[in-house]
Amino acid sequence: MIVKNLRYTRESQYLKQKDLIPLYNVTYSTISGWETGKDTIPIRQLIKYANKYNYSLDYLFGLKDYNESYYPLDIDLDEIAKNLKEIRKRNNKTQQDIANVLNTSSSAYAHYENSRYIIPTNFLFSLSLIYKDFSIDEVLGRKRK
């Protein structure tokens, strides 16, 4: 399961899955699929949740075993693109190297570094497995409180 702590954090807020339907504007079964790992939660939906309940994305993904406090995030594709490119270069990787790991084409990956599309949740998680000291919060431009 990509997002390891989604169910745990919901339950720690004393929320039921049905309580999150208005936040996500999806069905109960969609939320259930995200929590069981049957489906992957879109990063925009995960950001909504993290912003509302003040959870670190790194914590939700299980990259850290503790929660850190961040300011709410507004998605800025230019900042995300800049951060993706910077971390790739810092790790001496080419776009093709990253595309191979993500099982996509280098031209498809280039769209994320060129601010065309937001990088999908599963790609962010895969990047966390190949980069050292990787923070999803920082790549997305989230600022610590």
Considering the domain architecture, whether residues 125 and 94 belong to the same structural domain is answered as yes
Query: Does a structural domain hold residue 71?
Result: no
Query: Does a structural domain hold residue 85?
Result: yes
The string of pLDDT tens digits covering residues 6-57 is 999 999 999 999 999 999 999 999 999 999 999 999 999 999 999 999 999 9
Place of tokens 């929590």: 35
Contact between 78 and 115 under an 8 Å Cβ cutoff? The reply is yes
Prediction pTM value: 0.92
Contact between 96 and 106 under an 8 Å Cβ cutoff? The reply is yes
Query: Does a structural domain hold residue 51?
Result: yes
User: What percent of the chain has a predicted confidence (pLDDT) above 90?
Assistant: 93
- How many domains are there within the chain? 2
Considering the domain architecture, whether residues 53 and 83 belong to the same structural domain is answered as no
Inter-helix orientation angle 106-113/77-90, to 10°: 120
Domain range for residue 99? 77-139
